[in-house]
Structures are given as structure tokens and as C-alpha cells.
Chain A
């Protein structure tokens, strides 16, 4: 399997719009209307609650959040509650599982997503790691990236959110992923300054290519998001 994976940078788009787009893209991928792709995005502040979501993980009332313009969305991915906001790189790989080294081993798929980020972060001289049993990427006791994945027709969607330079105060709204005793960090807090987005995207693309052993090519931006996707 050496067919290339197209990596798009969609820039900043509202969460719900991206969600609808992902769902269209999954169906397009499942029906072979298009190939594997990774969509990099950034969202306005939003809390998303996965299928394992628990009310206790939210520390502020939904009404209060909405009053501040923060959307709260229930989604089909696994995992508990997650914050997305400006300063994060969110990646949605929409890929057929059969073409990846992990195959249908879904836990390995998660481990590979972690590996992609660990390698990209390592290029900045920062040693990030896994922290079993929790999914995600950590530096010491602090989480720098969250992962939540869904699979429909054996196509993966949703993905990860890497904290580059978000407002870490926003994480106080939740117990990220339901984990209460561990903290949250960003590349900015860890490195002293945030790496430029374009550079980091480039390194993430390279890591994806290494970990999945597939060429990852930079694709032209899509604006507006297309209603239908083609090869």
C-alpha cells in the first residue's frame, strides 16, 4: 500500500461545520469516491463530548458556556469530554483502516496516532510519551494532545488535538477526558515559544508518512468545504 495520503490544511472552521464535512468525507472514502486524507483544522472554542462522556467531566454549566459563545456538541467518537480552541492543531485522518499498518487493530491505530505526535514533538527536542492506560500524548504529568476516534464502515474519522498555544485557562471548564489528577500543557508552555503552525504541520506530515509508511502529500486548501468529494 503506497498510495499517497493527501494532507489538507483547512484553517479555522467552526466545529459543527467540520463535523458535517467529516461525515461526508467518511462516506466518500467508504464508497471509494476519494482516497485517504488527513484534514488539519483549527476550531473556535468548543467542548465536544464523546460516547464515553460523563456529565461530571464538565465543570461549568452548559448554559454558562453558551453564554460565552462556547458550543457544546455530542459526537460519535470514543472518549470523554474534550476542548478544542484556537491555538490547537486538530487533525482528522479519514483513512481506510485496511491500508494502514495497524489494519483492524484499533488500539494500535491509537498508539500510531500517538507515535505521529511524539515524533513531531521530538523534532523540537522535547521528549513526549504515552502514559498508559490513558490515551493521548504527555510530557511528564501534563497532557499535550488528546485523541478520540470513530470508525464507520472501517474508515476512521475524528482524530487528535495537539495543544500548540491554546488558552490553557479554557481547560478549566472540563476534566479533560475525565482525568482529574493530571494537568494540561501546550508546546508553548513546554518550549517557551509556540512553533509556527506551517512548520509544525510539515513535521506532522512527515511523522504520518514515517509511522504509516505511506507518502503524505500536501494538498491545496479547500475553501469553501466541498459538498462532495472526489478522487
Chain B
């Protein structure tokens, strides 16, 4: 059996790399462990050692192409083997054009900022099964999209090079399928796209098209201002709906006595401000508590596919930031490895750059759990939408003095409502409630655990 050369797992934060130089040519003999191809990530260049001795049978991913972790790059033929006839004729492997096909909206720091793309990179992190047969004609991102919608590539007409099915083709196909499906319900009938398979309705329905303006505009009656939707707004709308349609949202909440934390922060705030120039908000404290609790309840730091749970052993915590242009969720990477002060600095920096439209793609990718603070504007409770494909989001609210009962007496304490929205497909009620309770415990007694992490 020929041995495939794949992009290995190179660390949890690495999901793809660019194929640099092929150090061997097709047909050239290679020894086991001899470097055969370079994979370039941002600051590291790795020479992949040959997994077996033989000859380099085929290069399926050319130089300069982005490849995902797990993707096949080429094939080594063992002694006496030759390429199967079909393989030679087949279009070159799971190849992508130079630009990554699921290109997130250009992260132009100057122009429209990217709202969060549903992390196309995740497709790579989930080590894709070895592509075979006709699947090879599509990129990993398209394959993922097909899988998400339980579609078969053979039913879709490809518009890419050599008839390859692109992401656009799949999306159009899904859209056409929906129009066809709704045709029976009195919507304007339209020809289903060629090849639309009526029996294979998408599992997770795509965001529906907004109501046409004609449905609510009353020409000439009352004044309306019509503005085109910004790209950011379109992206937000798409992501919100994708989450709503994909996850089984459920929320649980709890009352937290923040009195001790309010006092602790008051003590530290001035000193941190004068020494480090950082505004110490509650968010870094809450993030610390969340990371601690996530360690104990790893299911809340996971994601799911149709057949797998992906437990993430890293803690990248998104913080929803309100800004004029619209909501965005920058991510504090490896929050578990940062001190309280580092978290405070980073959250402030990300918030500032979010508002200034200076976030990079990396800043908004790779989150594993999200914190959103509606309390900033006075809300005492809310039910946040999950930042899909994450499975949990913690809503933080206004801290206010409320009467509570302690030892049979009514006393005034600094209280806050914490809300956890979770994806009930993956997370049962019990761990969700326990997780939230753990966050509450940690926030109510910060001195017991925070001192070792400041």
C-alpha cells in the first residue's frame, strides 16, 4: 500500500500551514525520515520527514498552497509499487487554490472589520478522514460544508476549475433546495436547481433570507430611512442565525454575591492603574474563574460534529465587545496561562483595537468559550446567543446592591445575575448548572484562589 504524506498535528494552535518547498521530486527515491517537504507556519518552517522509504509517487499539493492539518500532501510508493491507474488521471488531490477558499471576510484592519467567521480553521483541527474517491475533488472546507448539510458532492454541479465543486456551488445548492422546499408552502414557485436532491434536506437549515422589503414597507404612509446593511451587520446576522439554527440553546442562571470581589477590585484598581496604566475591570477576574471552572467541566470547552466531541485542552476565551460598527468577539488566547494583570492588559488592548477596527484575523479566531457583558449598559439579565461552534457563553450583568437573606436576616449585598447559555445537544443540564455554580463559588470567594494567579 502506498503511504500518504499528511500534514501532522503541529500543536493545538496550528491548524494549517503553507506548503513551502518540495525537497524531493516525483519519482525520486527517499529514505525513511528524510526531509521531503517544508510546511511553513507564521514563524516556523518544518521539514516533514518521510513516513516511509520508497519513491515519491505523487505530489498532490503544490508549493505555495495552504494545507490543513490532516490533509494529504502526497504519496510515497513502497518498493515495487506503482500508482494505481486511476490515481494518475484523477485531478490533483484535495487541492486548494492559493487563497483559502472559505476565505473569511478580508481582515482589512482599515476597512470593514470581520465579524466572526465560523472558524473555517476548525475544519482542519478536526483531523479530516483521509479523503477518498470523489471527495478528493473538493477542498477540506467544502467537504466540511457538505458534511454539515449532509449533502453528497455528486448531486452538485461544480463551477470551479475542471468542474470542481466550490463553496459557492454548495451554498447555492442549499439555497436552491430551500426555495424548492418552500415552494409547496405557497411561496413563488421556482425551478429547483439541477441536481437538487429533495430527500436530503440540510440538517441545520441555513439562515433564511430576510423578509422582502415589500412585506413591511408601506410606500408613502410614514417616513422610513433605508440604509444598506454593512458587511459587518450581514456577517453578524448570518452568525447569529447560524448559531440559533445549529445549537439547541438553553439558559440557566444564578445569583452571585460579588461583595468580596467588589472590595478586592476596589483595593487593587488604583494601584494597577498607576503602576501599569491598566483599568482593572471585573472581566479578568471572571475570565480567571471561568477558566478554572472549564478545567473542571471540560464539556463546556468543547465543540461537536455529527459524530464527535472535540474537547479542547486550551482555553481561548472570547469577550464580546460592543462598538459602533456592531458586535465583535475578540479572543484572549491561552487565558489559562496568563496572570490577572496580563488578562486585564490584553482585554483592554483587544477592546481598544476592536473599536478602532484594528483587530487581526488571529484576534477573532480560535475561541473555545465566550463571555459577554450586558451589565455594562445596565442589564440585570439576558440570554446570550452561543458563539457557535462553541457550546457555552456566559452572560455577565449589572452588579447592584440588592436585599438578600443571610442567617435569617435581610442584608444588603453586591449582587449579580450570571447566565449560562449552553448547547443542550452536547451539554446536559447537570454539568451546565454545576459549571455555573462553580463559577459562582469562585467569584464569591476570590481570595481563596486568586492570590496564586495574580
* Chain B residues closer than 8 Å to A150, beta-carbon distance: 44-47
Task: State whether A135 and B13 are in contact (beta carbons under 8 Å apart), knowing that A150-B47, A151-B47, A154-B49 are contacts in the complex.
Answer: no
Closest-by-CB residue of A relative to B8 is A104
Bitwise, A141-181 to B at CB < 8 A (1) or not (0) is 00000011111111000000000000000000000000000
**In-complex Cβ contact of A147 among B8, B12, B13, B43 (8 A):** B43
* Chain B residues closer than 8 Å to A148, beta-carbon distance: 43
Binds A, one of B33-41, B212-220, B290-298: B33-41
**In-complex Cβ contact of A76 among B41, B45, B334, B346 (8 A):** B45
Number of interface residues of B (CB under 8 A): 29
Q: Report Cα–Cα, A109/B11, bound state, in Å.
A: 9
* Chain B residues closer than 8 Å to A151, beta-carbon distance: 44-47
A87 at the interface (CB under 8 A from B): no
B33 touches A153 (CB 8 A): yes
Task: State whether A78 and B47 are in contact (beta carbons under 8 Å apart), knowing that A51-B20, A108-B11 are contacts in the complex.
Answer: no
* Chain A residues closer than 8 Å to B43, beta-carbon distance: 52, 78-79, 110, 135, 147-149
Bitwise, B16-40 to A at CB < 8 A (1) or not (0) is 0000100000000000010100101
Q: How far is the CB of B229 from chain A (nearest CB, A)?
A: 29
Closest-by-CB residue of A relative to B333 is A132
B38 touches A106 (CB 8 A): no
* Chain B residues closer than 8 Å to A52, beta-carbon distance: 40, 42-43
B363 at the interface (CB under 8 A from A): yes
A220 at the interface (CB under 8 A from B): no
B360 at the interface (CB under 8 A from A): yes
Q: Report Cα–Cα, A107/B125, bound state, in Å.
A: 15
* Chain A residues closer than 8 Å to B45, beta-carbon distance: 50-51, 76-78, 149-151
Task: State whether A78 and B42 are in contact (beta carbons under 8 Å apart), knowing that A104-B9, A104-B11, A153-B35 are contacts in the complex.
Answer: yes
Q: Report Cα–Cα, A151/B48, bound state, in Å.
A: 8
Q: How far is the CB of A131 from chain B (nearest CB, A)?
A: 9
Q: Report Cα–Cα, A132/B46, bound state, in Å.
A: 21
Task: State whether A149 and B44 are in contact (beta carbons under 8 Å apart), knowing that A104-B10, A106-B11, A132-B362 are contacts in the complex.
Answer: yes
B6 at the interface (CB under 8 A from A): no
- The A/B interface has a contact count, at CB < 8 Å, of 84
Q: Report Cα–Cα, A32/B35, bound state, in Å.
A: 17
Task: State whether A78 and B12 are in contact (beta carbons under 8 Å apart), knowing that A51-B20, A149-B45 are contacts in the complex.
Answer: no
A224 at the interface (CB under 8 A from B): no
Number of interface residues of A (CB under 8 A): 28
Q: How far is the CB of A100 from chain B (nearest CB, A)?
A: 12
**In-complex Cβ contact of A51 among B35, B38, B49, B360 (8 A):** B38
* Chain A residues closer than 8 Å to B49, beta-carbon distance: 153-154
Q: Report Cα–Cα, A132/B41, bound state, in Å.
A: 15
A51 touches B40 (CB 8 A): yes
Q: Report Cα–Cα, A153/B46, bound state, in Å.
A: 9
* Chain A residues closer than 8 Å to B11, beta-carbon distance: 102, 104-109
A125 at the interface (CB under 8 A from B): no
A196 at the interface (CB under 8 A from B): no
Q: Report Cα–Cα, A154/B8, bound state, in Å.
A: 12
**In-complex Cβ contact of B44 among A106, A129, A132, A133 (8 A):** A106
A106 touches B333 (CB 8 A): no
B14 at the interface (CB under 8 A from A): yes
Closest-by-CB residue of B relative to A153 is B49
Q: Report Cα–Cα, A150/B45, bound state, in Å.
A: 5
Query: Which residue, A77, A106, A153, A154, has most C-beta atoms of chain B within 10 A?
Result: A106
Task: State whether A106 and B10 are in contact (beta carbons under 8 Å apart), knowing that A149-B43, A149-B45, A150-B46 are contacts in the complex.
Answer: yes
A106 touches B360 (CB 8 A): no
Given contacts A76-B47, A77-B44, A107-B44, list 4 more A-B pairs with CB under 8 A.
A52-B40, A78-B40, A106-B41, A153-B35
| 5 examples of A-B residue contacts, CB within 8 angstroms | A52-B40, A76-B47, A105-B13, A107-B11, A110-B44
The 9 A-B pairs of least Cβ separation, nearest first, read: A105-B11, A133-B362, A78-B45, A78-B44, A135-B43, A151-B46, A107-B13, A78-B43, A150-B45
